[in-house]
Amino acid sequence: MAEKKIIDGRGSFCPGPLMELIGVLKMSQIGDELEVLSNDKGSAKDIPEWVRKVGHEYVSTREEAGVWHITVRKAK
């Protein structure tokens, strides 16, 4: 069954949150949803870009009190 995982990248800067996401993606199953928390504006833009480039599924981005929640689904 697909899992939902939270990756807390708050306090880090580009490309820290992306690298943390990739580390968790490698250990995840296809279909798992990963939500990255980041207060780095650059990562909020860069992570969806990376996800599209490498062929995972970008789900959503929302901002809440200065924290971006970027959700992606492992597709391969």
Partner 1 sequence: MAGEKICVVVVSGTRERLQMAAMVASVAAVSGIEVTIFLSMNAVPYFIKGASTDAPSEGNFGDLVVKKKAPDFKTLFRQAVELGDAKILPCSMALDIAGIETDTLEPYLGEPTGLASFLDAARDAQIWTF
Residues with catalytic roles:
14
Task: Return the number of other C-beta atoms located less than 10 Å from residue 1's C-beta.
Answer: 5
Q: Between 13 and 62, name the residue whose CB sits nearer to partner 1.
A: 13
List residues near partner 1 by CB under 8 A.
Answer: 11-16, 18-19, 22-23, 26, 50, 53-54
The Cα 38–Cα 21 span in angstroms is: 11
Beta carbon of residue 22, minimum distance to partner 1 (angstroms, whole number): 5
Beta carbon of residue 1, minimum distance to partner 1 (angstroms, whole number): 26
All residues at 6 or more sequence positions from 10 whose CB lies less than 8 Å from its CB, including other chains: 37, 38, 39, 67
